[in-house]
Chains A and B, each alone.
Chain A
Amino acid sequence: MREDAYAAALGGLSGATPLRLHNLLRSRSAREALRAIESASIGAEVAPPEALAEWQREISRLDLPSASARLDELGAHVSTLHEPIHPPQLTNDIDPAPLLFRRGRLPDPSLLHVAVVGTRRASAIGREVARELGFGLAQAGVVVVSGLALGIDGEAHRGALLAGAVPPLAVVGSGVDVVYPKRHSDLWEEVASAGALVSEAPLGARPEPWRFPARNRLIAAFSDLLVVVESRDYGGSLLTVEQALRRDIEVMAVPGSVRNKAASGTNQLLVDGCAPARDVTDVLVALGLSVIAVASRRNEPEVNAPESPLGTRASPAHRAAGIGDSAAVVGRTAVVLDAIDDGPTSVDEVVDRSGLDVIEVYGLVEELVALGLVVHDGSRVRRQH
Chain B
Amino acid sequence: MLASVRSSTLDGIDGAVVDVEVHVTNGLPAFTIVGLPDASCREARDRVRAAIESSDLSWPMQRITVNLAPTCVRKVGAGLDVPIGLGILAASEQIPLESLADISAVGELGLDGSLRPVPGILPMVDVLETGRVIVAAADAGVAALGAGDRVRPVRRLRDIVDVVSDGLPWPHVEPPPYDDEIVDEPDLADVRGQASARWGLEIAAAGGHHLLLIGPPGGGKTMLARRLAGLLPDLSPEAARMVTRVHSAAAIRLPGSGLVRRPPFRAPHHSASMAALVGGGSGRVSPGEMSIATEGVLFLDELGEFAPSVLDGLRQPLEEGVVRVARSGAMREHPANVLLVAAMNPCPCGEGGSVSCRCGPSSRLRYSRRISGPVLDRLDVMVHVDRPSPTALLEREPGESSSVVAERVARVRELAASRGARTNAALNREQLEDAAPLDSEATDVLHQALVDGRLSARGAMRVRAVARTIRDLDDAGPTIRARDIYCAIGFRVRPPLGGCDA
| Residues of A near any B CB (own CB < 8 A) | 120-121, 123-124, 127, 150-151, 183, 257, 259-262, 313, 315, 344, 346-348, 351-352, 358-360, 362-367, 369-370, 376-380
Does the CB pair B448–A370 fall under 8 Å? yes
Does the CB pair A378–B498 fall under 8 Å? yes
Q: How far is the CA of A377 from the CA of B501 in the complex (A)?
A: 8
Flag whether B90 is at the interface (Cβ < 8 A).
Answer: no
Does the CB pair A259–B355 fall under 8 Å? yes
Flag whether B141 is at the interface (Cβ < 8 A).
Answer: no
Q: How far is the CA of A134 from the CA of B151 in the complex (A)?
A: 82
Given contacts A315-B451, A377-B501, contact A363 B360 (CB under 8 A): no
Cβ 8 A contact of A379, one of B352, B470, B502 = B352
CB-CB < 8 A to B352: which residues of A? 379
Does the CB pair A380–B384 fall under 8 Å? yes
Residues of B452-502 at the interface with A, using a CB-CB cut-off of 8 Å, are 452, 454, 470, 473-474, 482-484, 486-487, 489-494, 497-499, 501-502
CB-CB < 8 A to B451: which residues of A? 315
CB-CB < 8 A to B281: which residues of A? none
Flag whether B199 is at the interface (Cβ < 8 A).
Answer: yes
Q: Apart from A150-B502, A359-B470, what are 9 other A-B pairs with CB-CB below 8 Å?
A: A151-B361, A261-B355, A348-B193, A358-B196, A366-B490, A367-B482, A369-B454, A378-B382, A379-B353
Q: How far is the CA of A6 from the CA of B373 in the complex (A)?
A: 52
A370's nearest neighbour on chain B, judged by CB, is B448
Does the CB pair A378–B493 fall under 8 Å? yes
Does the CB pair A363–B490 fall under 8 Å? yes
Flag whether B354 is at the interface (Cβ < 8 A).
Answer: yes
A-B contact pairs, 28 of them (CB 8 A): A121-B359, A121-B360, A121-B361, A150-B361, A150-B362, A259-B355, A315-B448, A315-B451, A346-B386, A347-B490, A348-B193, A359-B199, A359-B473, A359-B487, A360-B483, A362-B196, A362-B199, A362-B487, A362-B491, A366-B486, A366-B487, A366-B489, A370-B448, A370-B452, A370-B486, A379-B346, A380-B353, A380-B499
Closest chain-B Cβ to A355's Cβ sits at a distance in Å of 12
Does the CB pair B452–A365 fall under 8 Å? no
CB-CB < 8 A to A376: which residues of B? 490, 494
CB-CB < 8 A to B452: which residues of A? 313, 315, 370
Cβ 8 A contact of A262, one of B355, B483, B484 = B355
Cβ 8 A contact of A362, one of B361, B490, B499 = B490
Flag whether B195 is at the interface (Cβ < 8 A).
Answer: yes
User: 1/0 per residue B348-375: CB within 8 Å of A?
Assistant: 0000111110011110000000000000
Does the CB pair A123–B355 fall under 8 Å? yes
Q: How far is the CA of A260 from the CA of B448 in the complex (A)?
A: 35
User: 1/0 per residue B273-308: CB within 8 Å of A?
Assistant: 000000000000000000000000000000000000
Flag whether B67 is at the interface (Cβ < 8 A).
Answer: no
B199's nearest neighbour on chain A, judged by CB, is A358
A318's nearest neighbour on chain B, judged by CB, is B448
Does the CB pair A124–B474 fall under 8 Å? no
Q: Which 4 A-B pairs have the closest CB atoms?
A: A362-B490, A379-B353, A363-B487, A378-B494
CB-CB < 8 A to B215: which residues of A? 379
CB-CB < 8 A to B473: which residues of A? 359
Flag whether B198 is at the interface (Cβ < 8 A).
Answer: yes
Flag whether B194 is at the interface (Cβ < 8 A).
Answer: yes
Flag whether B445 is at the interface (Cβ < 8 A).
Answer: yes
Does the CB pair B490–A379 fall under 8 Å? no
CB-CB < 8 A to B140: which residues of A? none
Q: How far is the CA of A89 from the CA of B449 in the complex (A)?
A: 50
Q: How far is the CA of A347 from the CA of B215 in the complex (A)?
A: 13
The tally of residues in B whose CB lies under 8 Å from a CB in A reads 46
Does the CB pair A124–B499 fall under 8 Å? yes
CB-CB < 8 A to B501: which residues of A? 124, 127, 377
Q: How far is the CA of A360 from the CA of B382 in the complex (A)?
A: 16
Cβ 8 A contact of A348, one of B194, B361, B448, B498 = B194
Does the CB pair A257–B355 fall under 8 Å? yes
Does the CB pair B484–A363 fall under 8 Å? yes
A382's nearest neighbour on chain B, judged by CB, is B499
Does the CB pair A378–B384 fall under 8 Å? yes
Does the CB pair A364–B486 fall under 8 Å? yes
CB-CB < 8 A to B448: which residues of A? 315, 370
Q: How far is the CA of A261 from the CA of B355 in the complex (A)?
A: 6
Cβ 8 A contact of A377, one of B194, B359, B499 = B499
Does the CB pair A348–B499 fall under 8 Å? no
Cβ 8 A contact of B498, one of A259, A362, A379 = A379
Flag whether B214 is at the interface (Cβ < 8 A).
Answer: yes
CB-CB < 8 A to B445: which residues of A? 370
Does the CB pair B499–A120 fall under 8 Å? no
CB-CB < 8 A to A121: which residues of B? 359-361
Q: How far is the CA of A187 from the CA of B492 in the complex (A)?
A: 31
Cβ 8 A contact of B214, one of A260, A313, A362, A378 = A378
B493's nearest neighbour on chain A, judged by CB, is A378
Does the CB pair A344–B484 fall under 8 Å? no
CB-CB < 8 A to A362: which residues of B? 196, 199, 486-487, 490-491
Closest chain-A Cβ to B424's Cβ sits at a distance in Å of 15
Q: How far is the CA of A313 from the CA of B448 in the complex (A)?
A: 12
B363's nearest neighbour on chain A, judged by CB, is A121
Cβ 8 A contact of B196, one of A150, A348, A366 = A348
CB-CB < 8 A to A369: which residues of B? 454, 489-490
CB-CB < 8 A to B454: which residues of A? 369-370
Q: How far is the CA of A358 from the CA of B196 in the complex (A)?
A: 6
CB-CB < 8 A to A313: which residues of B? 452
Closest chain-B Cβ to A83's Cβ sits at a distance in Å of 39
Does the CB pair A379–B195 fall under 8 Å? no
Does the CB pair B361–A120 fall under 8 Å? yes
Cβ 8 A contact of B195, one of A123, A261, A358 = A358
Which of A121, A257, A369 has the most chain B CB within a 10 Å cutoff?
A: A121
CB-CB < 8 A to B346: which residues of A? 379
CB-CB < 8 A to B498: which residues of A? 378-379
B360's nearest neighbour on chain A, judged by CB, is A121
Q: How far is the CA of A366 from the CA of B362 in the complex (A)?
A: 29
Closest chain-B Cβ to A148's Cβ sits at a distance in Å of 15
CB-CB < 8 A to A260: which residues of B? 355
Closest chain-B Cβ to A38's Cβ sits at a distance in Å of 45
CB-CB < 8 A to A344: which residues of B? 353-354, 499
Residues of B395-447 at the interface with A, using a CB-CB cut-off of 8 Å, are 445
CB-CB < 8 A to A348: which residues of B? 193-196, 386
